[in-house]
Amino acid sequence: MGKRILITGAAGFLGSHLCDKFIEQDYEVIGMDNLITGDIRNIEHLWKLKNFEFYHHDVSSFVHVPGKLDYILHFASPASPIDYLKIPIQTLKVGSLGTHNLLGLAKEKKARILIASTSEVYGDPLVHPQTEDYYGNVNTIGPRGVYDEAKRFQESITMAYHRYHGLETRIVRIFNTYGPRMRLNDGRVIPAFIGQALRGEDLTVFGDGSQTRSFCYVDDQIEGIYRLLLSDYPYPVNIGNPHEITIKEFAEEIIKLTGTAQKIVYKPLPKDDPLQRRPDISRAKAILDWEPKVSRAEGMQKTYDYFRNLSVEELNRSEHKDFSQHIRS
């Protein structure tokens, strides 16, 4: 009998790509999502398959899955600053209570569990680039605190289950990742800029645009997560692309890519917006023999082609809302 895997957050951006990956590898896949930030259309193409099932469930409440489970991937969580502002309590609950429920399920099923952590555990980092040994610089009571602290707690409870119960656990620290199926209105910089370019609006750069990010294409991210799950390494591993760029330079790249005639406009920097971020991926290279393969030019072209093919209604429905005024100090 084939391996059976539960993927939470299955209708989300990364969750849906993970469903595709494990279906491709002939796993039996159970997708679970409460559809608060996920979109069922991301996994509609899997519904006709015999080896795919979907449970509409919120993992912050007790999780029941009949039958055996070999693996669990916990990817359910809001994952953009706009979402944390709209649903801060759910964000805290899914990272804490949700993770606790899934660790309990993993223990019961004797399954290996991989949890999705984030570069946000490093906060506004004082060490650059970020290695896994850096403890971070997080504002517990800031607008991002609900996400950052839930994810830090998630790592702690996962290690406690590993040490105390001998559970097989894996922790991936995901850095900014992009590609098809990102939500156009999730407020993240890539869908925001592409959406603005497609609607003929100016591109909104927050702050003076000197803050940096390092963007990883989704296929590379999924491959890294896949290798980590199948490895025997229980400690956190950074997965991301170390190619760093300022947000201003990135806006200029988008203007070139999309051929928009619009210009850049500057808006205030949201509170606690990290000034710089770049993963040190030496650990992933050494342990997983992994490094990103897709250049930003190639990845951005694919992402732009995806968004360009969305309907006009969708594009307008998803008009980028500026929530930054809510998160200023």
Binding-site ranges for ligand UDP (CB under 6 A): 80-81, 176, 187-189, 192, 204-206, 211, 213, 247, 270, 273
Measure CA 235 to chain center. Answer: 19
Look up 135 and say whether it is catalytic.
no
Least gap, CB of 203 to ligand UDP (angstroms) = 7
Residues 6+ apart with CB under 8 A from 133: none
Alpha carbon distance 236, 240 (integer Å): 13
* Token pair listed for 135: 């403890």
Q: What angle do CA 274, 94, 61 make, to 5 degrees?
A: 175
Catalytic residue among 71, 122, 147, 217: 147
Q: Least distance from C-beta 188 to ligand UDP, angstroms? A: 3
Task: Mention every residue, 6+ apart, whose C-beta is less than 8 A from residue 70.
Answer: 3, 4, 5, 111, 112
Handedness of CA 42, 47, 49, 55 (dihedral sign): positive
Yes or no: say if 251 and 300 are a contact pair by the CB < 8 Å rule: no
Distance between CA 291 and CA 214 in Å, rounded? 14
d(CA 233, CA 114): 11
Q: Which residues are catalytic?
A: 147
